[in-house]
């Protein structure tokens, strides 16, 4: 359903993403692993279209010159020149790094704002669903987003992204700053979302351990290039991957 071909992103002359291609089929969970500055967030920005917005703003302010090359095919359309809002409307929704919760809105309001693209019936159904997979949020309905703990914020961020009715959900470092127990629990929730709603998901993460077991296919990014790719079993058997991400 989703295919990125030969993506390249330059910040001035620095190559942040080097000829990365990635495929995601219906209902798959794809993992993108890599250390800090390997290009995970740049890739997510390129896939969600935010890169275009960043590029335009930098240009307007006379800042960094950003160059984007490559193709993105999605449900039979070439969408590389779609602006981020249009991609979201088409069903590609990014849950951004560091969550970016609306800090001055309550939990419920965050979710309602997320439902901007949903019909009233969809919004109601999704709201119930979010509270059913993240019951902890039910009690916090009226708490301001800024006063939530990291784990609660991450649940809210994923819930908010679900409210936008994604067909393809992009998760950028969802486990960042969470305790190992919550990391495993959240990874299971991500899998549940795919199993129960059929949403295709691409996860970018540096903590491979909790995510690796739930993916169908994965890519390892290093210095902006996809150096290894393969199915879950292949990746887990690969000695380099084991050494780098599992410590044995």
Here's the x/- map for another protein, 147-186, by CB under 8 A: it reads as x------------xx-xx----------------------
d(CA 226, CA 47): 15
Which of 106, 238 has the CB closer to another protein? 106
Binding residue for another protein, selected from 20, 95, 186, 241, defined by CB under 8 A: 95
Q: Which stretch binds another protein (CB under 8 A): 2-10, 104-112, 196-204, 217-225?
A: 104-112
Look at the alpha carbons of 178, 225, 42, 71 in this order and tell me if their dihedral is positive or negative: negative
48 binding another protein? (CB under 8 A): yes
Interaxial angle between packed helices 107-114 and 150-163, expressed in degrees from 0 to 180 and rounded to the nearest 10: 30
CB of 113 to another protein, least distance (A): 4
Binding residue for another protein, selected from 5, 53, 167, 184, defined by CB under 8 A: 53
Q: Which of 9, 168, 165 is nearest to 77 (CA)?
A: 168
Binding residue for another protein, selected from 27, 35, 73, 100, defined by CB under 8 A: 100
CB of 225 to another protein, least distance (A): 26
3-state SS class at 198: coil
Beta bridge partners of 166: none
57 binding another protein? (CB under 8 A): yes
d(CA 19, CA 120): 41
94 binding another protein? (CB under 8 A): yes
Q: Which stretch binds another protein (CB under 8 A): 5-13, 18-26, 102-110, 131-139?
A: 102-110
The site that binds another protein (CB under 8 A) totals a number of residues, namely: 36
117 binding another protein? (CB under 8 A): yes
d(CA 173, CA 208): 11
Binding residue for another protein, selected from 70, 109, 206, 223, defined by CB under 8 A: 109
Q: Per 3-state DSSP, what percentage of the chain is helix, strand, and coil (rounded to 5)?
A: 45, 25, 30
Rg (CA), the chain: 18
């Amino acid at each position: 359903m989703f295919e990125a071909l030969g993506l390249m992103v330059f910040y001035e002359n620095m190559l942040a993403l080097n000829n990365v291609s990635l495929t995601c089929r219906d209902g798959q969970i794809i993992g993108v692993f890599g250390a800090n500055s390997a290009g995970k967030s740049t890739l997510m920005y390129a896939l969600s279209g935010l890169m275009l917005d960043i590029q335009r703003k930098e240009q307007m302010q006379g800042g960094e010159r950003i160059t984007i090359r490559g193709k993105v095919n999605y449900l039979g359309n070439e969408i590389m020149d779609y602006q981020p809002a249009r991609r979201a409307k088409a069903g590609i929704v990014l849950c951004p790094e560091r969550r970016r919760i609306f800090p001055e809105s309550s939990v419920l309001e965050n979710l309602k704002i997320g439902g901007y693209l949903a019909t009233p019936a969809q919004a109601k159904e999704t709201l119930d669903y979010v509270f059913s997979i993240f019951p902890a949020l039910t009690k916090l309905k009226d708490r301001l987003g800024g006063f939530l703990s990291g784990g609660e914020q991450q649940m809210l961020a994923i819930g908010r992204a679900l409210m936008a009715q994604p067909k393809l959900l992009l998760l950028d470092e969802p486990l960042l700053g969470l305790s190992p127990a919550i990391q495993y629990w959240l990874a299971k929730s991500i899998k549940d979302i795919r199993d129960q709603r059929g949403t295709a998901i691409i996860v970018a993460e540096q903590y491979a351990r909790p995510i690796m077991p739930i993916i169908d296919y994965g890519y390892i990014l290093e210095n902006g290039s996809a150096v290894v790719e393969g199915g879950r079993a292949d990746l887990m058997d690969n000695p380099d991957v084991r050494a780098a991400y599992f410590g044995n």
